[in-house]
Amino acid sequence: MFEIGNSLREARLRQGLDFPELEQGTKIRGKYLRALEDEQFDVLPAQTYVKGFLRSYAEYLGLDGQLYVDEYNSRFVVGEEEPQSRPRRSVPPSRGVQVQSRVVLLTLLGIAAVTALVIVAWTRGEPPSATPVGLGTSKSPTHQSQAPTVQPVQVRLLVKASRGPCWLQVHKTSATGPILFQGTLDQGQKQLFTARKLWITLDRPENLVTILNGHTRRLPVGGVKTLTVTPRGIRPAV
């Protein structure tokens, strides 16, 4: 068991993200993101919204969204009610009563069929309701005796020039992969990169602060550096 709200808040603060930026990136209203961090799940319209928003927010922060949904299911979702016991079977009615009952049953079925047709004709022209942004299918809840290990699913690297300017070139996947960024970050500027793997060349690593999947990482200093970034860490390129 782990605290859902505190874990989300710590990941957000480590990456220096604020709610307006998160609202734009996740397409989820800021008040719902705050409610998730405060574990005020009754603010959201329904449990389906909670699970969908929780999954989307966690994955946007570079976390495993399914672990958060499972934790929510195990702590807050109430199990289904037990089915009602079947009524005792009564003594079979006489033949005359059976015929009369069949007539009543057929009449009720006819009324139900006409009512269903009217409802279908009335509602057929209405557009289907849009699926809320951030919702996804959720697996059945699992109960865990120990706190889960939250593993990032991809590289989410926040780079900020906090001590001075730094030139860098960022490739996706490999040194020959698509260029995500090339230029100089002036002091105070920052960039966010997401991919399964990054290949970075930079000239003044001592001027940068890097946050990899919510954790601050130190870069080797001195001269031009070429580094590879994976979910496990930042290492010199071989």
Class of domain 155-236: mainly beta
- Mean of pLDDT values over 223-228: 81
CB 68 within 8 Å of CB 39 = no
Q: Give CA–CA dist 116/111, Å, rounded.
A: 9
Which residue, 7, 13, 19, is CA-closest to 68? Answer: 7
pLDDT tens string 79-138: 543 334 344 444 455 555 565 777 788 888 889 887 887 676 666 654 444 444 444 444
What 3-state class would DSSP assign to 49? helix
- Mean of pLDDT values over 48-77: 91
Mean of all residue pLDDT scores within the chain: 80
Please give the pLDDT value at position 22: 93
List, in order, residues 6 or more apart from 66 with CB less than 8 Å away: 55, 138, 139
- Mean of pLDDT values over 61-69: 92
Residue in the structure block whose two tokens are 């601050």: 216
Beta-sheet pairing, 198-202 with 225-230: antiparallel
Among the ranges given (32-36, 71-75, 81-85, 210-214), the one the predictor scored with the smallest mean pLDDT: 81-85
| Structure tokens that stand for 72 in this block | 């929510």
Q: 234 vs 110, which has greater pLDDT?
A: 234
* CATH architecture for segment(s) 1-78+103-144: Orthogonal Bundle (1.10)
Please give the pLDDT value at position 141: 47
Enumerate the CATH 2.60.40 domain ranges in the chain, comma separated: 155-236
Predicted confidence (pLDDT) at residue 19 exceeds the cutoff of 50? yes
